[in-house]
Chain A
Amino acid sequence: MLNNDAKKFINSQDVSKFMINRLTTRFILITLCATFVSCGSEEKEAGSDGFEYWTAPSIELSRFEKDVVDKWNSTHKETPIDWKTIPAGTTSEEVILTAIATRTGPDVLSNVFGGFAAQLADAGVIVALDTLPGFWDVAENRKMANIIRNNWFYKGHVYVMPIYVNPEMVWYNEKMLDKFGITELPRTYSEFFRLLEKVCIPNKIYGLTADVSSKWFRRWFDYLTLYTSASGGKPFIDVDNNEAFLDSDYGIAVTEFYYRLFNEGYAPRFEINDGFEKEVFFAALKGAGNIVRIKRLYPDLKYRIAPMLVPDDYPEDAPVYTLAESKGMVLFESSNKKDKAWEFMKWYFSGEHDSLWIALTNYLPAREDLTSNPIFTSYFDDNPDAKLYANMMDYIIPHVLTAKTVEIQTSLNRELWQPIIFGVKSPVQASRDANIAIQRILESGPKVIN
C-alpha cells in the first residue's frame, strides 16, 4: 500500500506528464497554425492588385516618397503601392541581393547605382525598360533622353530610369581665403599647392579632405572625380574594349596630385570626421547634397564653391567636367504586376514631381532643363549654391556602368590609393600597377583565379 508521499509523487508525475504532453501538442498546433497563416498571407499578397516599392532609408527621400506614394494611392485605388524603405543592413545592395535570393524583393526599387544595376542586368533579374511601351516618351517629356542615351545604356539596353545626380565640386573655407587675402580661386594643381603653402599649418590645418579608408565606393568621391576632370570627361575604363587608362598622362597627373597631398602633409593619413566643417581643412570635394546638411549642422561655416581642379596643362578655355553620383529606379523581372508597376514608373517620371523632389531632398533631378525650366526657378533663387551645381549639368559624367565596379575599385584601392597615401609606390608605378590589375579584371570572366 502506498503512503501519502508516494501517492503525491505519482500524482505529481502524472500531472507533469500530462502538462508536458499538453505543451507538446500545443507547440505542434501553434507551429502548424503559424505555417498555415504564413502560407495564407502569401497567397493573399499574391492575389492583391497592388505591388511593392522600395526606396532609400533616408529621411529626406522618405518625405518625398511618402508624399508621392500617398498621391498615387489616392488616385489609383485599384493598384495600391505597398511602400517600404530598404531594410537596414551594411549596404542597401546587400539587403536587396538577399531579398532577391530569398524571393522577398520588391517589384520596383529606387536608389540603384549603375554598377549594381549592371550586376542585376547581367543576372537577368531586372527589366530592360527601353523595351516597354512609352519609354522614350517618358524620357523626352522629363528632358532626360540625352542623359539616358549618353550614360545609361548597358549592353544595348536601358535598365535604369535615372532619378537624380549629385555632382562634386570644390569647397573652400571662406574665412581662410579672407585671412590670406585670396580673391581668385585656384584652377590648376600648381595654383592649389601654392595656396596650401600659405594656408596650411603642419598637423593643424590641412589642405584637402581625402578619405583614407579602403572602402571601394569612396574612390568615386576623390580619385575618380579628379580623374574625370583631368581627362576632360573621359571615363577611366572602356568596358566595351576592356581597356583601362589610369596610366595615361592625366591619370598619372591625378595620382601625382594625391601623392604630393599626402606625402607633403597637406592631407592626414587618418580620418578626421567633418574636418572641413570643423575648419581643420582649407578645401573639400563635396556634392550638392551637402549644402542643406551643412546649413543645418554648421550654420556658421562660410565657404565658396568652385569647379574641380585640373592638371597644369589642362586648356584654359576647355570646360571642366566632374563626376556625379547618379541613382535611379529599376523594375524586377520577378514582378507579376509589371504592367501596373510600369504605369507607376511612367507616372513617377512624368516630371510633375521634380519640383517637390528638389525642394524636399535637395538632390538635383537628372534632367537637362534644370536651369531653364521655371518649375525650379524659385528653388534656385532660394538656394544659389545649388544653382552652381545645376549650372554644371552639361559637364556632369556619371559613374561607369559595369558589373565589375566593386572589383575594379577594390583593386584601385589596393594598387594605387593605399600605396599613394603611405608613399610606398611612386605615382607612375601605382598608376601602372592599378592599370594592369584593372585591365585584368576587365578581361576576365566571373572570378575563379585571381
Chain B
Amino acid sequence: MSKYPGLGLVSLYVIHTIIFWLYPFLWGVVIAFKRWNIISPDKEFIGLSNFIGVLYDPLFWISFKNSLYFMAVYVPLSIVSALGVALLLSRIKFLQSFFAVGYLMSYISAGVAYSIVFSLLFSGDGLINTWLSKINITIPWFSDPDIAMASIAMIVVWKYLGYYSLIFLAGLQAIPESLYESASIDGASERVKFFKITVPLLNPSFTIVLVFAVMLSFNIFTEPYMITGGGPLDSTQTFVMQIYHQTFTALHAGYGSSFAIIVAAISFLFVYAIRKTVERDMA
C-alpha cells in the first residue's frame, strides 16, 4: 500500500506544528536577543540585555512569589478535590459517564466568560457577599491582597476539577479488582486498602496531575487578567500577564520574549524535579 495517504494525513499535524509552534518558538528565541517594538521594521541586536533586565525586574520576582503562592493553594486543593470526585465517580454504577462529563463542563467553559461570572458573584456587592452580609460577614475575595490569589486559585480548581478527576478515574479503573479482594481476604480495612493499594498504584495519575497543575501555576493568565488585573498591590501579578503586558501593551517584544524563555526554563526545572521525586516505575 502506498505510504503517501498516510503521510498526507500526518502532514496536517506537521504543518500545524511548524506554523503555530516551531516557527513562533524560534522567532521568540531570535527576538529575545533584540530590541523590537513589534510595529517597527528595526530590530537592534542587544545580546543578553533583555535577559539581564528580566532578572532585575521587581515584577519578575513578584510574579514568581505569586506563582509559588498560587501553587501552594492550587496543587493540594486540586489533587484532593479531584481524587475525591474520582473516588465518588468510581463507586457510581449507573450513569457514571454522564456525571463524569458533567464535571468536565467547567473545563470546556470559556475562560473569559466564567471569569466575568465569578468576578460578579464574588465582588464586594456581589451575590455571595449579599448572602454573607445576612450573617454580618463580608469577604473581600478579590480586593484583599492577602487572599486575592487564593480566591483565584479556587476558581481554577473548579475549572480543572473534572479534567483531573477523569485522569484519576482512569487510574482507579486500571487497578485490578483482585488486589482489593485479596486485601479484603487478608482482613485489610478500607483505610489500609486506600493507602497501601490505591495511592501507590495511582502514582502515574498523581504524576500527570501534579505536572499539569505545576505547569499551570506558571501559566495562569485569563482569571487574574480578567478579574483583578494583577492587583490589589500586585498580589495577583503572574508571569504570563507580565509577558503579555510587556509584549502587546508596552510593545517590548524582545523583553517579553526573554521573559517567556526564562519562565519556560523555570517551569521545566520544576516539572523535571517533580518527575524525579514523585514518579515511580509501575511496570
Contact = CB atoms under 8 A, between A and B. Distances in A.
B143 interface: yes
Nearest to B60: A450
Interface stretch (A1-9, A118-126, A136-144, A315-323): A118-126
A283 to B, nearest CB: 18
Interface string A180-223: 00000000000000000000000100000000111110000000
Nearest to B129: A270
Given A97-B38, A120-B39, A123-B37, A447 B234 contact: no
Given A123-B39, A270-B140, A272-B125, A17 B5 contact: yes
B233 A213 contact: no
B58 A97 contact: no
B66 interface: no
B46 A424 contact: no
Contacts of A212: 143, 231-232
B49 A448 contact: yes
B8 interface: yes
Contacts of B234: 214, 414, 418
Interface in B113-155: 120, 123-125, 138, 140, 142-145
A271 B2 contact: no
A408 to B, nearest CB: 10
Nearest to B140: A270
Interface string A271-296: 11100000010000000000000000
B245 A214 contact: no
Contact of B232 (A125, A422, A448): A422
Interface string A1-35: 00000000000010001001101100110000000
Contacts of A203: 138
Interface in B232-283: 232-234, 245-246, 248-252, 255
Interface in B73-111: none
B49 A124 contact: no
Given A270-B142, A272-B124, A449 B37 contact: no
B178 interface: no
Interface string B28-43: 0000000101111000
Contact of A448 (B40, B46, B58, B245): B46
Nearest to A99: B39
B231 A447 contact: no
Contact of A214 (B5, B123, B231): B231
B50 interface: yes
A436 interface: no
A58 to B, nearest CB: 19
A270 to B, nearest CB: 3
B233 A424 contact: yes
B250 A21 contact: no
A418 B49 contact: no
Contacts of A422: 145, 232-233
Q: Interface SS of chain B: helix, strand, loop or mixed? A: loop
A20 B1 CA distance: 11
Contacts of A216: 249
Given A270-B142, A270-B143, A271-B123, A446 B252 contact: yes
B2 A21 contact: yes
Contacts of A20: 5
A27 B125 CA distance: 55
B211 to A, nearest CB: 30
B125 A273 contact: yes
A93 B250 CA distance: 11
A17 B46 CA distance: 55
A269 B233 contact: no
A268 interface: yes
Nearest to B122: A270
A414 B242 CA distance: 14
Contacts of B138: 203
Nearest to B125: A272
A396 B130 CA distance: 41
Interface in B148-182: none
Nearest to A274: B125
Nearest to B15: A31
Contacts of B140: 269-270
A297 interface: no
Contacts of B143: 212, 269-271
A1 to B, nearest CB: 23
Contacts of B35: 446, 448
A24 B5 contact: yes
A24 B8 contact: yes
A450 B145 contact: no
A24 B140 CA distance: 58
A39 interface: no
Contacts of B2: 17, 21
A100 interface: yes
Contact of A119 (B120, B251, B255): B251
Contacts of B125: 270, 272-273, 280
Contacts of B53: 447-450
A418 B123 contact: no
Nearest to A25: B8
A122 B52 CA distance: 25
Contacts of A119: 37, 39, 251
A29 to B, nearest CB: 12
Specify which of A91, A101, A270, A418 lies most central, judged by the most chain B CB atoms within 10 Å of its CB: A270
B43 to A, nearest CB: 11
B57 interface: yes
A424 B233 CA distance: 9
Contacts of A273: 120, 123, 125
Nearest to B44: A446
A94 interface: yes
A74 to B, nearest CB: 35
22 contacts: A28-B8, A93-B249, A97-B251, A119-B39, A122-B40, A125-B40, A212-B231, A214-B232, A268-B124, A270-B123, A270-B140, A270-B142, A271-B124, A410-B245, A418-B232, A422-B233, A446-B35, A446-B252, A447-B246, A447-B250, A447-B252, A450-B59
List the 3 shortest-distance A-B pairs measured between CB atoms, nearest first: A270-B124, A214-B231, A270-B143
Given A20-B5, A24-B5, A450-B57, 13 more contacts: A91-B249, A97-B39, A101-B39, A269-B232, A270-B142, A271-B143, A406-B250, A410-B245, A413-B231, A418-B234, A446-B252, A448-B46, A449-B56
